[in-house]
Structure 1
Amino acid sequence: MSLLRLGVVIVTMGTRPRELEALLTSVEVQQAPATRVILVGNAAPLTDMKFADNVTTVPLEENLGCPGGRNVGLRMLSDSGDVDVVIELDDDGLLVADDVFSTVRRLFAADPQLGIVGFRVADEQGHTERRWVPRLRARDPLRGGLVTSFLGGGHAFSMSMLNQVGLWPAEFFFGHEESDLAWRALDNDWKILYEPKLVLQHPATSPDRHAVYYRYTARNRVWLARRRLPVLLVPVYLCVWILLTMARTRSMSGIKAWWGGFFEGVREPCGLRKPMRWRTVLRMSRLGRPPIL
């Protein structure tokens, strides 16, 4: 049996050159080498660095957002036909071990229904924040297993899964694109595995450092519900998150931006609606996270 071929996609805006160089070095020293590495510059020329021979740079004139930029790389790997599993990494992340890719390859080879493998994200001291653990009971970040979501910072996809369920929702631009893709994968009977042994070191930054965080978070949450949930669950999901957001948000400007994004999500087209089956709702509930939280 031939070994699965690995590809890598990294999206950058060119604002973290030292971190990106370190990440690419950690990719190069992996025991299982990547067949192709696609580096997408979101409105970044990528002319000030030298890259390994297997790195293809794709400078974009326009910032397509994280999901849109990743889709550019994923389409290139799909069109090449020589990649079975694709690994996506944040440009300020770092692979601290050299066996990450070989472990990824082993996991996908062992289970043909495995669609997504999520990495454990940890800061420079090895600490994993609760929001980085893809389950509700997040006290133990070292407990792996099947889950209903994954972190965008470090993960791996089966190319067969992507070919069936589709790519990232580029229109989301920033926020909740992982949930949209994860829900589609689950609804097509693919598995999502959280594997804490696969570590991506990442700075412990706050998501609300982005100026558009509150607006896009609210808008995309509404779009997610409209696109993927059975009609009976849409108001339940949105009411739950309205209550949680109002309880957690301390910034009045943040609350104002959130409500602006919420009503934008209600008014604006959300894309093709294809709600998940009730069987998938039950499956997610059994995995510990029903699609209302």
Structure 2
Amino acid sequence: MDVLSDAIAAVRVGQPSSNRLRVSGDWCTRLAPYEGAGFHVVLKGSCWLLPDGGAPVSLGTGDAVLLPHGTGHVLADSPADAETVARAVPFEDRPGMQQPYGRAGFDDVEMLCGKYRLDRSRAHPLMAELPEVVHLPNRVGSHPELRSAIDLLGRELDTRRPGSFISVPSLLDLLLVYMIRSWMAEDATGAWPGVLTDPVTAAALRALHADPAAPWTNDRLATEAGVSRPTLTRRFTGLVGRPPMAYLTWWRLTLAATLLRDTEESLATIAHRVGYGTPYALSHAFKREFGATPGRFRSRTGERITA
């Protein structure tokens, strides 16, 4: 796996969901804060997204917006004011908001709206760095993969065809990857777009994520990245925020937590998969990092995810 795939896999749980909807006239609806990430894609018309505590965002045809931290927000036909926010109807309670309804009209707004369920107990810093709102305006020639995924998803949701039970969640997962990729291509302030474009740090991260159980040392990792050990340590620590072996320890334990959450594998099997010689060694390091034994962590996480 690569860093972005691992970062998403570490937090994603359950199946994503989405709806294609159409509204017209004066309308305003609220989506409550969510333990996950939400997205909207404007297929026709224009509207406003009013994030809690943030500035209004104007959305036009072809625009995509990701709310990676589940920020509560209002969707409306006009910019924010006290009256607009006060009259917002909960998304779940507004008749017709979750399915296309009525005849198509000239002033209709058509959108794809959806959610990803995420477990942020051990979010990768790449995911944690995402802003509250990632707005990806539609520009000719930009992000062709994202546009293709949006088109395919829209067609699948228009008419449920054989295989849609598999195709729709798969397309939603692809949409999330493309939205984050697009943000990384355009963001000029975040650390992680720079991390993954730096040849030394990117090579080291690819190696660690490809085989986290390997007996890595700074010298071996430096050889993999094609630089000296001091150069690797300086570049990696400066960009990632922690030395290579500290990052490896953190990632091994994060991966162990993901396996405890998502599988029924034994502690011995998990220890082997993440590079610990014995279940005891993993348990000791895990408790020091998480404040709970692996068994207790697995039990609590299962209760939280199924709640």
Shorter-chain TM-score above 0.5 = no
TM-score bucket (shorter structure)? 0.3 to 0.5
TM-score of the two chains, using structure 2 as the length reference: 0.31
Tell me which protein shows more helix as a share of its residues.
2
TM-score of the two chains, using structure 1 as the length reference: 0.32
Return the index of the structure with the highest Cα Rg: 2
